[in-house]
Each structure stands twice: as structure tokens, then as C-alpha cells.
Amino acid sequence: MEETHHYASTTAADDHYSQAPGTPEPDVEFLTSGGRCIPAHSTILASVSPVLENIIDRPRKHGSSERVIPILGVPCDAVSAFVRFLSSSRCTDEEIEKYGIHLLALSHVYLIPQLKQRCTRGIGQRLTTENVVDVLQLARLCDAPDLHLKSMKFISNNFKAVENTEGWEFLQDNDPWLELEILQFMDEAESRRKRSRRRREEQKLYLQLAEAMDCLEHICTEGCTNVGPYDIEPTKKREPCSKFATCEGLQMSIRHFATCKKRVNGGCVRCKRMWQILRLHSSICDQPGSCRVPLCRQFKLKMLQEKKSDDARWRLLVKKVVSAKAISSLSLPKRKREEMKETMEDQGIKNFRL
Ligand SMILES: [Zn+2]
Ligand SMILES: [Zn+2]
Ligand SMILES: [Zn+2]
């Protein structure tokens, strides 16, 4: 009959302990700092927590019937929420919001992975400049790498505000190693950002070059607006092609290349660029026999003659443009490739109708 006393001492929140018919009587209790006793079933506790199983089994071995498990230094209601989770595997968002930090610590100490996961996620969604330093330290103590990383990122992204909190001040005074770790993380995050920005810009360049390669082939085989092969009539419909922004620029460069007095060796930058584009085309062209792009075969021959000049940086550029070309062609309808009957003898720039 002693249990009745304990029931009376619990709050309404523990109502689910009111007996359903056939459920065994609670046979252990948790003692909280507030002096509250929260009843529970030893078999349930033992089945969800190996740590509690140990604690429950220990007195049995000594023949003692003492069944009180103290959980002190944690708010009583947090302990209630914890005990409720042990028997129902559930807790409310409100409980996570109010006691998430305590529940995380308890789930770590008593080895309850489901609760730990729930807390880690819940706390991670509720990070603030005020609590993030504490959460970071707790995540470290409780071995919660996801939450640790999330806190680090949060601090890194909101450093100006976090720097002014009491938590940060406390950290600076008491845990200079963690402070250093955070500053290092921010430094690395910054260089990660720079690296990916650079990679994005590079990728953009490769895509532009890949598009230029497509346009070059298209100008040299079908012709586009006013520029095209000398032996093919300009298309009746003078509508610009789908990539006209690139195509038009290329057409102007071709026109310039054909008429420039300085040319490549005279130090003309525009001609040099056009020269590189033609060389790039030749490097990726897989049909040099029937290709109508100027200088394609000449470049191929030259490459065969001087293999060593095929330097690593150029090869890398070619590789990147080829893969960018593959990427961009996935999103575009395949252009019909016209089979060229004749092999071109002279594919110099003078073959152009300009
Ligand atoms: Zn075009
Ligand atoms: Zn020029
Ligand atoms: Zn070619």
C-alpha cells in the first residue's frame, strides 16, 4: 500500500501511470532534486536502457529491495519527461523546447539512442545566439557530432552576434581550446566558401567554352545568320539560333580573325583567343576527317608531330570542357549532325562566307 503515497506525490503529468487493468504495479522510483518521486516499471527501464538495467540488477544481487534511482541536478519536470519517454518512447515538442538540453544529457548518460536523436534534432532546430555556445559544449560532452557541427556552423554564420553573448565570454575565460577550435573552423569555412566559389566560376567558364565549341561546329557546318561555310547558302529564315549570345560573339571573332592585319603573331589578343578556340575544338574533335572547322586538321597534325607539347594543363582544360559539353548536351536536344560527304582539303578561314 506504500505506493499510494508516491502516486500522490507525482504531478498530473505522470497520469499515464494510473493503472490500466493487467499492468503490473510500478516497482522502482526516480528521486529528483525537488524531492519528488516518480514511479516506474523496472522491466521497462531495463529493456530500454542498459545503464538502468545495471542499476536495477545491482541491489537484487545484494538481496536488497531498495528501488530508488536518484536523478539530481536536473529540473523535476525534465526527469518526468525523461521517465515518460522511457515507457512510451515519446516526448512532445514542448518538452524538447523546455528541457531538450537536460534530456540530451540524460539520454547520453543512460544510453537511450532514440531520445538522443530526438533531442539532437530538436535542439539543432532551436539554436539561438544566446544558447549556441552552451549547446556546443554539451554536444561535445554528450558526443553528439551532428549537433556539434550544426552549432559550429551556427556560430560561424552568426559570429558578430554570438561574440557579444555571456556564453562566449564564459567560453573565452574557461575554455580557450574550444575558442581556438571555433576560430579555426570559421577560418576553414571561409576558405571552403572561397574554394567553392572558385570552382563555380571555373565550371561556368568550362560551360561557356563548351557552348562556344557547339556554336563553332554549328557555324562551320550549317552556318548561322550571316556567317557560315562558303559553299552553303545562308539559311532563309534569319532567326538567330538558340545560343545566339555565344554564337554572335563567336561570329564576330571569326570575322575579325579573317580580316585582322596584326593576326596572332602580330600580338592581337582577339586573334589569339580565336586561335585558342580553334585549337580547343581540334583537341576535342572526334571527326577530323569530315570536320569543317578551320584549322582542325592542321592542329591535329601538329599535335601528332609534337606530342610533348601536349602539356598537362591543356589536357586538363580539354577534359573539363569535354565534360562540361557532356553536361550541357544533356539539357539540350541533340543537334542533327550532317554527314559531310567530301573531305575538306583546305579548311582555312578563307572557306568562310562572311
Ligand atoms: Zn548560331
Ligand atoms: Zn586580330
Ligand atoms: Zn574538327
**What are the tens digits of pLDDT across the range 19-43?**
555 667 888 999 999 889 999 998 8
Ligand 2 centroid–CA 280 distance in Å is: 18
Mean pLDDT in residue range 333-347:
33
Is the pLDDT reported for residue 112 higher than 80?
Answer: yes
Counting ligands in written order, the one closest to the CA of 279 is 3
Ligand 1 centroid–CA 267 distance in Å is: 28
Which comes out higher in pLDDT, residue 89 or 325?
A: 89
Is the pLDDT reported for residue 309 higher than 60?
Answer: no
Q: Which protein residues have a CB closer than 5 Å to ligand 2 (ion)? A: 260, 268, 270-271
CATH number for the segment(s) 199-332: 1.20.1020.10
Residues in a beta bridge with 69 = 30
The CA distance from 303 to 68, in Å, is 85
Picking from 229-243, 245-259, 318-332, which range would have the lowest pLDDT averaged per residue? 229-243
Mean pLDDT of the chain: 81
Residue 331 is predicted with a pLDDT of 56
Ligand 1 centroid–CA 346 distance in Å is: 23
Counting ligands in written order, the one closest to the CA of 214 is 1
pTM to 2 decimal places? 0.58
Counting ligands in written order, the one closest to the CA of 269 is 2
Q: Which protein residues have a CB closer than 5 Å to ligand 1 (ion)? A: 224, 241, 247
Can you give the residue ranges of every domain in the chain?
Answer: 28-57+65-189, 199-332
Counting ligands in written order, the one closest to the CA of 347 is 3
Mean pLDDT in residue range 80-104:
93
Is the pLDDT reported for residue 107 higher than 90?
Answer: yes
Residue 58 is predicted with a pLDDT of 75
Ligand 3 centroid–CA 235 distance in Å is: 22
Is the pLDDT reported for residue 350 higher than 60?
Answer: no
Counting ligands in written order, the one closest to the CA of 258 is 2
Ligand 1 centroid–CA 337 distance in Å is: 14
Ligand 2 centroid–CA 294 distance in Å is: 16
CATH H superfamily, domain 28-57+65-189: Potassium Channel Kv1.1; Chain A (3.30.710.10)
Is the pLDDT reported for residue 259 higher than 90?
Answer: no
Q: How far apart are the first and last CA of the chain?
A: 106
Is the pLDDT reported for residue 47 higher than 80?
Answer: yes
